[in-house]
Amino acid sequence: MELVTPGIGLLFWQTITFLIVLFLLSKFAWKPIMKALNDRETSIENALSAAEKAKLEIQGLKAENEKLLAEARLERDKILKEATEAGNHLIETAKQRANEEGDRMVANARESIENEKRAAITEVKNMAASLSVEIAERILRKELSNPQAQQALAQDYIKEVTLN
């Protein structure tokens, strides 16, 4: 039974040894271990604090990025609107100029046609007058070549002319 129950002397020496080891550990090992644990706890807290700060900073940057993106979208929309308006204005100006140029060309064409028409009418009148004179000249030569025909023509003119 001695194996199961220890003796009083053994218990005494084990207690003394335990107290000496406890004293030595508390004197030399306990403070460095506690210091290491405290340092580790402090570094973990600092790391958690830095992580929280980084998280807050990232959220701030994210919000700032969203704000910048919104501003960029607004600026893009504004530029697109201005470009569209400028394009539309340019198209309208070009249409107006084209219409004015077309109207001017039509007016010039009408004036040119009218001038050519007048010139053609004048030329036709001149040709008609020339042909009339030539025909009259031929008829008169033919009729006036005969003295009796000349006499008859003079008599006809005299009859047509009435004296007042």
The reported pLDDT for the residue numbered 131 is 81
Q: Picking from 69-73, 77-81, 108-112, 124-128, which range would have the lowest pLDDT averaged per residue?
A: 124-128
Are 144 and 150 a contacting pair, CB within 8 Å? Answer: yes
The reported pLDDT for the residue numbered 164 is 47
Distance, CA of 29 to CA of 21 (rounded, Å): 10
Average pLDDT, stretch 3-32? 86
Distance, CA of 43 to CA of 37 (rounded, Å): 10
Measured at the CA of 100, the angle between CA 114 and CA 112, to 5 degrees, comes to 15
The reported pLDDT for the residue numbered 100 is 93
The reported pLDDT for the residue numbered 27 is 84
Distance, CA of 37 to CA of 48 (rounded, Å): 16
Residue 153's contacts (CB-CB under 8 Å, 6 or more residues apart) are 143, 144
Work out the pLDDT band at 163, boundaries 50, 70, 90: low
Distance, CA of 70 to CA of 53 (rounded, Å): 25
pLDDT tens digits for range 18-38: 999 988 888 888 888 889 999
pLDDT tens digits for range 60-91: 999 999 999 999 999 999 999 999 999 999 99
Are 119 and 127 a contacting pair, CB within 8 Å? Answer: no
**pTM across the whole model:** 0.41
What tokens appear for 157 in the block? 């003119």
